[in-house]
Amino acid sequence: MKQEMIETIVGLLIILVTGFFLAYAIRTGGSNNSVNGYTLNAQFQNIEGIAEGSDVMLAGINIGSVEKMSLDQSNFSALLTLKIKREVKLPSDSLASVNTSGFLGNKFISITPGGADDDLKEGGRIKYTQSSINIEALIGKLMYSVENLKNTPATPPTTSGGK
């Protein structure tokens, strides 16, 4: 009888904790797309790791999110529509880049503000972009080049043989 009571209490605690985490996830997991803001467009060659809802950060502070992603059929580049908080005004020569949080963390769009006097307006385009860096490809190239160095015969230094 005592064993059944303990099992019932543990079961209720698990249900309560699960409910708490579910409520917390629903409350804090909302997308920034509902934020009152304006949209900007940016064109990248590679946005690997970015998805709709990814963060847009400025100085480590979330200022918006990726609202839409599409492919430009004319040059096969990625077109992003970014939703930026209304109170954040970005200079027209700002830079948007794909960055990683930590070494292998989530990817996000980082904005580096420029120094122009005029600001980007609703529907404006960020002209300066820097695409995603594929760490795996870089490591592969490094390993391949090191392997090539190992397999290349060393040539002895030439000396001028005169007195």
* Predicted confidence (pLDDT) at residue 34 exceeds the cutoff of 70: no
* Predicted confidence (pLDDT) at residue 32 exceeds the cutoff of 60: no
| pLDDT value of position 139 | 82
User: How far apart are alpha carbons 135 and 118 in whole angstroms?
Assistant: 36
pLDDT tens, position by position, 66-90 = 999 999 889 999 999 999 999 999 9
What DSSP letter does each residue of 1-44 carry, written as one string? -HHHHHHHHHHHHHHHHHHHHHHHHHHH---GGGSSEEEEEEEE
pLDDT tens, position by position, 45-61 = 888 888 898 889 999 88
**Domain parsing of the chain, residue ranges:** 32-143
pLDDT tens, position by position, 123-159 = 889 998 888 776 777 788 888 777 776 766 666 666 6
| pLDDT value of position 146 | 74
Please enumerate in sequence order all residues whose Cβ is within 8 A of that of 117, keeping only pairs 6 or more positions apart, or say none: 91
| pLDDT value of position 33 | 46
Give the predicted TM-score (pTM) of the model.
0.62
Average pLDDT over the chain, rounded to an integer = 82
